Amino acid sequence: MQVSQSQINEDAIDLMINMGPQHPSTHGVFRLVIWVDGEKIQKVEPHIGYLHRGSEKICESESYNQIITLFDRLDYVGNLNNELAFSLAVEKLMDLEIPERAQYIRVILCELNRIASHMLFYGVYGLDAGATTPMLYAFRERERIQELFESVTGARLMHNYIRIGGIKEDVEKDFKEKVHKLIDHLKESIDECDDLLSNNEMFLVRTKDIGIITADEAIDLGLSGPSLRASGVLEDIRVTDSYSIYDRFDFGIPIGSKGDCWDRYFVRVQEMRESIKIIEQALADLPEGEIITPIKGMVRPPKGEVFVRTESPRGDLGVFVVSDGSDKPYRVKVRPPSFVNLQALELMLRDTYLADAVLVLGSIDIIMGEVDR
């Protein structure tokens, strides 16, 4: 299956195809230059930077509370996970104690966000494979989650809800019932989505044994998140390097066996089910009490630097903050999972058919806002 670089016959490359940046299946503005030999892909070259907004640089001129709004806009389908990563970094630097209630609400909302993100992946991946129905089903379910977000945080996408030291405001009184109702509904709909697509013959033919990446290669390339677990590597930062209060919950880590497109798809479907388990446990233990540790005046972390890694829906999201003691950070660096996962694309695409390029690209679930920052 895999061909090493030396084996590629340069003379055989006869056509260069430009996919993107306005291609509808590139999930944003992403350009992929593909060299094909007949229908077989010989070499690909990803071009990124079309969505570069200079977020990391802007962070240096914003106060810590304003930066949370920028983190919302990195991975724009997993916003709360991004907010959490930055807040955790600053809290670690300031050595803040987070109230229990805030921790639980953060976890519940982040896991719901993970389901929403995977739902989006599910729908769009169906669309990539040529099935339009899954997209409509997935967006319907995602809409329910966003409705809950709207009633809790006030916004459907850009929440700005997680604050340094806690959360913005307490959840409504009927939050528990609302979430219970939602997850009961989600359980059914995940099964429904699973029935609809996972074992469909046409989908299996399109995704099985396509874009294979072995565990060793995946580790070498620094893959993370569901894309890494699909290759059979048991690595989930929620478990292996636990942050927040994830060590209190009992949940499984779905892993794949082969590392093909179907595994990467199915790991995400299974992960939604595991997220529901976390939400159920967190709801059962949800304590009463404070929601934020008040900070007097501006957020001014002491001089120093900190690195925090979290498991975002796409993988290992790292945030590095350097503080010079003022109310603005000296440097903020994000280690975006999508950006790192994208570099495996060349290996995955080599020697596959051109028609599968969209499926392989879709299976690593990139978000260009995070790749370009």
Q: How far is the CB of 96 from another protein (least distance, A)?
A: 18
Q: How far is the CB of 191 from another protein (least distance, A)?
A: 9
Q: How far is the CB of 151 from another protein (least distance, A)?
A: 4
Q: How far is the CB of 285 from another protein (least distance, A)?
A: 24
* 39/172 with CB nearer another protein: 172
The two tokens of residue 132 are 């339009």
* 45/143 with CB nearer another protein: 143
Q: Where are the beta strands (DSSP E) in 48-179?
A: 162-163, 166-167
CB 320 within 8 A of CB 12: no
Distance between CA atoms of 21 and 38, rounded to whole angstroms? Answer: 23
- Return the CA Rg of the chain: 21
Applying CB under 8 A, the residues found at the interface with another protein are 62-63, 65-66, 69-70, 133, 140, 143, 147, 150-155, 158, 160, 168-169, 172, 192, 195-205, 208
Q: How far is the CB of 221 from another protein (least distance, A)?
A: 28
Q: How far is the CB of 158 from another protein (least distance, A)?
A: 7
* 31/73 with CB nearer another protein: 73
* 39/147 with CB nearer another protein: 147
Measure Cα distances from 266 to 1, 203, 226, 258, 284 in Å.
22, 12, 9, 12, 28
How many DSSP H helices and E strands does the chain contain? 15, 8
Q: What distance, in Å, lies between the first and last C-alpha atoms of the chain?
A: 34
Q: How far is the CB of 250 from another protein (least distance, A)?
A: 30
The two tokens of residue 183 are 């997850």
Pairing of β 31-37 and β 40-47:
antiparallel
* 193/360 with CB nearer another protein: 193
Q: Where are the beta strands (DSSP E) in the chain?
A: 15-19, 31-37, 40-47, 162-163, 166-167, 304-312, 315-323, 329-335
* 280/327 with CB nearer another protein: 327
* 200/281 with CB nearer another protein: 200
> Would you state the torsion angle of the CA atoms of residues 88, 90, 95, 96, taken in this order, to the nearest 10 degrees?
-70
Distance between CA atoms of 29 and 196, rounded to whole angstroms? Answer: 29
Q: 247: closest CA among 274, 278, 293, 269?
A: 278
Q: How far is the CB of 103 from another protein (least distance, A)?
A: 21
Q: How far is the CB of 113 from another protein (least distance, A)?
A: 17
Rama region for 153: left / alpha / beta (φ>0; ψ in -120 to 50; rest): alpha
Distance between CA atoms of 278 and 183, rounded to whole angstroms? Answer: 11
* 13/205 with CB nearer another protein: 205
294 Cβ partners below 8 Å, 6+ apart?
A: 165
* 199/240 with CB nearer another protein: 199
